[in-house]
Amino acid sequence: MSTTKPGRGNWAEVLEWSRTLPLSEFKARADAVCRQHHGAGVWLRGLIEVSSYCTESCWYCGLRAPNSQARRYRMDTATLLETVRAGYAAGLRTFVLQGGEDPALGPELVAGWIEAIRHATNDEAAITLSLGLQSRQTYRLWREAGAQRYLMRFETANPQLFERYRPGTTLAERLRALEWLRELDYEVGSGFLVGLPEENQTDREAAWRLCWEFGFDMVGIGPFIPHPATPLGTTERPPLELCEQSVAAVRLLLPLAHMPATTAAGTLHPKGREAVLAGGANVLMPDITPIPMKKDYELYPGKVCVDESGLACLPCLDLRVRTAGKVIRHGVGSAPRRVAR
């Protein structure tokens, strides 16, 4: 099994460090690599949750189709564009459109949104989509309309756990879709949940390995937070340390990747985002979805900042970033590998 790849960390070495170093030392090494490649900057991405409808039944997620208590909404085009304009005026230059797998968000509708956002932002902003599994043709249409980035986590690298927790789909199918996205010249983001019930350290190491093999441009790693209206609702929350370790490992393996300090990390622990920003993460994704909707986009309970507009959160994020010894950077912030191409 090869342990080296150009532009990536040494697999065997990072694995060894993860097993032998105290977490603080492991994180310090990840922080050094992060600063070497990305400086002290933290990129902001404006997250817009466009639909809380979903046809899927993921066991961990509050938006799963069988959850009849979930409140469902779908943003209209005018609200979406207003949200983008307000974010643009506040200095945001990347917008992430995220939603459940909602068939009503048809290929043409979303392609129209992409074009309208480009127009509303003078083509100065990057558009990232996070709309789940789609056909290759749909991914192509959206790329041609002008979306540059796509996020889709593989959630767990354990194929059995994947099939149990995401009924009706397979890990292989998801990885094939991620390959399509790369072929279509998207900046490809993926990532995984940490601390799903029955997941173990071997599974987490396999997730690191998968990130390393694929060479994602972006990797989002968040702790699993049980939602009471799901089959996993009464299970335990994982310790933050598991998430810190995975973020540090993937940073050491993929020095160039963009890695967010996730909202889930901030929900699990009041200093969760700061903790991962100090150990490898270099992106924050303020949720700029209008307040009544963002409350209803309940993947997990207790999501931080749901009572404030995401733009009101910016000064608070600035402080959090400084606490971690970093500074917010405005701008498109493309993945470095892409800039070099």
Q: Is 294 in the site for ligand 5AD (CB under 6 A)?
A: no
Taking contact as CB under 6 A, which single stretch among the options 12-20, 57-65, 272-280, 311-319 is the one that binds ligand SF4? 57-65
- The only residue of 193, 207, 250, 257 in contact with ligand 5AD, by rule CB under 6 A: 193
Taking contact as CB under 6 A, which single stretch among the options 54-62, 138-146, 175-183, 265-273 is the one that binds ligand SF4? 54-62
- The only residue of 31, 49, 101, 274 in contact with ligand SF4, by rule CB under 6 A: 101
Structural element, H or E, at residue 275: helix 272-277
- Residue count of the chain, please give it: 341
Least distance (Å) between residue 211 CB and ligand 5AD:
14
Task: Determine the residue type at 115.
Answer: E
Least distance (Å) between residue 55 CB and ligand SF4:
7
Query: What phi and psi values does residue 187 have, to the nearest 5 degrees?
Result: -75, 120
- The only residue of 46, 87, 100, 333 in contact with ligand SF4, by rule CB under 6 A: 100
Return the residue matching tokens 């207003």: 82
Q: How far apart are CA 64 and CA 255, in angstroms?
A: 34
- The only residue of 105, 281, 299, 314 in contact with ligand 5AD, by rule CB under 6 A: 299
Taking contact as CB under 6 A, which single stretch among the options 15-23, 82-90, 223-231, 282-290 is the one that binds ligand 5AD? 223-231
Task: Determine the residue type at 247.
Answer: V
Q: How far is CA 333 from CA 43, 218, 292, in A?
A: 7, 11, 30
| DSSP SS3 for 238 | coil
With 0-12 CB in 10 A as exposed, 13-18 as middle and 19+ as buried, what is 239?
A: middle
Q: Which residues in 123-151 are b (16+ Cβ under 10 Å) and which e?
A: eebbbbbbbbebeeebbbbbbebebbbbb
Per-residue contact flags (x/-) with ligand SF4 for residues 105 to 144, judged by CB under 6 A = ---------------------------x------------
Edge-to-edge strands, sheet with 283-284: 283-284, 41-44, 327-329
Q: How far apart are CA 303 and CA 316, in angstroms?
A: 16
- Asked whether the beta carbons of 248 and 213 are under 8 A apart, the reply is no
Q: Is 248 in the site for ligand 5AD (CB under 6 A)?
A: no
Tokens of 27: 């994180």
Q: Is 153 in the site for ligand 5AD (CB under 6 A)?
A: yes
Selection from ligand SF4, ligand 5AD, none that 264 binds (CB < 5 to 8 A by kind) is ligand 5AD
Q: Closer to ligand SF4 at the Cβ: 52 or 334?
A: 52
- The only residue of 30, 48, 63, 152 in contact with ligand SF4, by rule CB under 6 A: 63
Selection from ligand 5AD, ligand SF4, none that 224 binds (CB < 5 to 8 A by kind) is ligand 5AD
Q: Closer to ligand 5AD at the Cβ: 225 or 249?
A: 225
The binding site for ligand 5AD (CB under 6 A) comprises 60-61, 153, 155, 193, 222, 224-225, 227, 264, 299-300
